[in-house]
Amino acid sequence: MDTKHLILLAAVAAVLTGAVVLLGVVEDRQEVTLKEGSYVLQGFNPEKVYGIYIKQGDESLTFKRRDERFILTGKYDYPVSNEQINRIVKAIADIRCAERVTADERNHGALGVTGEKAGLVVRFFGESGQKMTGIIIGRDRPGFPGFYVRMEDEKQVYLSTDALPAVSTKTVDYIRRDLPPGRKGDYVRIACRNGSGAFSLDLREGRPAVEDVPKKQRQDDRAVTELLKTLQQFPVRNLHRKADLATLTWPARLEFHRKDGTVYRVELAEKDGRHFARTEASMDDSAGKEKAAGGDKGQAALQLSLDTVGAFNRDHGEWVYEIDPSWMRVAQMKQADLLE
């Protein structure tokens, strides 16, 4: 397994080390009687997960691993973030037994663990598509933090020690919101271009500053703070293929410049009261030349940045994100809107 594969679920593996006995894939699991405090999912190795199926009610999603990514299969085959997959795996792997409840199938319905017709079903699959294990999450017990849970291929029902973190079966919850990506403190400049004007913010000194402020004027700190607050979250509503919205025009754009010389451009469009965004990463020319002239270390840093740009464009290049109007309002601002 290459380094990228190891990175994929490394966070989950680290959390589970010492908590889950890594006995290999769990399709060979023998039915066991769990003790209080035992992990319900015994013998589970997250690095062997190549597929995940989750279902609740009429909604279901399937994720499949391709190289170092997980793809949400179906209409779009969309690459979800590794963090989202890690959260699902950890939420299920962390379920612990508070007590044994019943092994009588006649009680399964009342506890919400009958299968796909009730409760939340989560299945994990191995590299060749074989089912590793399946688990059914049932109802909560009133007055107790835990819930009823059953391994899909077993009759025994357990009560869990704790509540289950949210595991969504809605596609919109898996659309990536890491735009611009990474820590906000890594950015040194934001530039806006639109049909009516432009403005730029310098972020390097810890206090965001509007660039090129005319003499005898000063920036409106409150307006700048509100602008940055808006850009802290990427407000996704839906997902579309670029080819399906080929007639859109993109009159406004925001550019986010990072310390490493990478630039993330978000272009914005509006049609029939709906708002859309598409994004692309690039390497700032001057930063690229500076790194290229920096010897072996500079070349290595340049290659790392180029790899980051390539991975971002691979993940986002085919998509148009439907968003709420907040980013468009920012992208339509003029410098005067940020001055007192």
Pairing label, strands 157-160, 147-151: antiparallel
3 state SS of 36: coil
pLDDT at 30 over 70: no
Model confidence, pTM: 0.80
Closest listed residue to residue 220, CA positions, set 206, 208, 229: 208
What is the chain's mean pLDDT, rounded? 88
* Residue 26 pLDDT grade (very low, low, confident, very high; cuts 50, 70, 90): very low
> Is the distance from CB of 22 to CB of 13 less than 8 angstroms?
no
Average pLDDT for 250-269:
96
pLDDT digits (tens, 9 = 90+) for 260-306: 999 999 999 999 999 999 999 999 988 878 888 888 888 898 899 99
**Domain limits of the chain?**
3-171, 184-338
pLDDT at 288: 79
pLDDT digits (tens, 9 = 90+) for 163-186: 999 999 999 999 988 899 988 889
- Strand partners for 96: 39
Give the best-scoring range by mean pLDDT among 38-47, 137-146, 195-204. 137-146
Distance CA 17, CA 10 (A): 10
